[in-house]
Amino acid sequence: MAEMLPLENRRHRAGKTLSLIIPMHNETPVLDALFSRIDNAVSPLGLDLEIICVDDGSRDDTLANLERRALADPRVRILSLSRNFGKEAALTAGLDAAAGDMVVPLDADLQDPPELIGEFLTLWEQGYEVVYGVRADRSSDTTGKRLSANAFYTVFNFLSDRPIPASTGDFRLMDRVVVEALKQLPERNRFMKGLFAWVGFRQVGVPYARPERAAGETSWRYHKLWRFALDGVTAFSTMPLRVWTGIGLFAAGLALVYALFIIARVLLIGRDIPGYASLMVVLLFGTAAQLIALGVLGEYVGRMYEEVKARPIYMIQKKIGFPPATDGR
């Protein structure tokens, strides 16, 4: 999958720092397994490590548990958000705080196996700026989630002029230049997968089998996924807005033909009283189409409102374990 890049692009890991960014929302049950897997898989890689845990307004023990770990382990850093802002915002907070030469966002539930980071690193050393995981085997997802994910990628990539590789998530290794590029994107609507693809750079995928959540339960619900999908599409395409011009022109054309037909008929045959059915069809279809068009407009206007307000993407309540030098936000 990975073509060889010219040798002058090579980098070396010696003396480099890796930042892991782990968004967490009610993840107490997985924390033991998470930290021991990180220790086993990432510590031997020969890098300095910082483990940035972003507590996204958890209502369980997550924060207290993390604080205990931070006392014992100087690599553990905690960003505690003031409430639940959602995974995308939590990731953004982590990216802003990360000091590493490379950064890897990781799900807390071990669905992004830390063991893969070694492979990511090898490709980074060959010169890639982004090495992303591709879910080769999604059998751990429910059929519904798989189908809806496939439908989403198809629609998204049809509409967007910046396609995202199918079956990728946030799990990836990014060079510092990519992180700096991401930090320049000011939008509130953080559809990270789309932003990751938008910034460009040399990217390569590594297939892996996505395991099931190690413990605890998912924070996603279907209505949230629907909003997420709309966020993605509206952030990367204006086609849903523009398509109505075409639909309108087409309908107007049809209406004109039909009008000519009616006029001709009245002139030739005379007045024709029945017409209830055709009237109703035109009326119902016409108003429904207008409502949909209005709704689509609303989706964009609502998001523009969010952007114009320009509120911060997240609020930090507490920062623990960060060295003073990188604390200057």
- What does R_g of the chain's alpha carbons equal in angstroms? 25
109 belongs to the binding site for Mg ion (CB under 5 A): yes
**Cβ nearer to Mg ion, comparing 122 with 219:** 219
**Cβ nearer to ligand UDP, comparing 48 with 60:** 60
Find the part of the chain contacting ligand UDP (CB under 6 A) among 2-10, 86-94, 269-277, 284-292.
86-94
CA distance 162 to 279: 43
CA distance 13 to 69: 26
* DSSP code per residue over 174-227: EEHHHHHHHHT---SS--HHHHHHHT-SSEEEEEEE-PPPSSS-----HHHHHH
Output the CA torsion 138→203→48→51 (10° steps): -40
**3-state SS class at 37:** helix
Which does residue 219 bind out of Mg ion, ligand UDP, none, counting CB within 5 to 8 angstroms by kind? ligand UDP
**Cβ nearer to ligand UDP, comparing 75 with 87:** 87
**3-state SS class at 322:** coil
Which does residue 278 bind out of Mg ion, ligand UDP, none, counting CB within 5 to 8 angstroms by kind? none
112 belongs to the binding site for Mg ion (CB under 5 A): no
CA distance 262 to 258: 6
Find the part of the chain contacting Mg ion (CB under 5 A) among 13-21, 144-152, 210-218, 317-325.
210-218
Helix 276-309 vs helix 239-269: crossing angle, to nearest 10: 160
Q: Under rule CB under 6 A, which residues in 87-116 are in contact with ligand UDP?
A: 87, 90, 107-109, 111
- Backbone dihedral region of 249: left (phi > 0), alpha (psi from -120 to 50 degrees) or beta? alpha
**Cβ nearer to ligand UDP, comparing 81 with 233:** 81
Residue 205 β-bridge partners: 132
What residue has token string 């398509």?
Answer: 243
Q: Under rule CB under 6 A, which residues in 19-38 are in contact with ligand UDP?
A: 23-25, 27
Which does residue 24 bind out of ligand UDP, Mg ion, none, counting CB within 5 to 8 angstroms by kind? ligand UDP
Min dist. Cβ of residue 320 to ligand UDP (A): 17
303 belongs to the binding site for ligand UDP (CB under 6 A): no
Please give the structure tokens belonging to residue 42: 């990432």
Min dist. Cβ of residue 65 to ligand UDP (A): 13
User: Which pairing describes strands 102-105 and 48-55: parallel, antiparallel, or unpaired?
Assistant: unpaired
Q: Under rule CB under 6 A, which residues in 239-268 are in contact with ligand UDP?
A: none
Find the part of the chain contacting ligand UDP (CB under 6 A) among 4-12, 17-25, 114-122, 180-188.
17-25
Q: Under rule CB under 6 A, which residues in 214-233 are in contact with ligand UDP?
A: 218-220
Min dist. Cβ of residue 283 to ligand UDP (A): 43
- DSSP label of 49: E
Q: With CB under 5 A as the rule, give the number of residues binding Mg ion.
A: 3
Tell me which residues touch ligand UDP (CB under 6 A): 23-25, 27, 56, 84, 86-87, 90, 107-109, 111, 213, 218-220
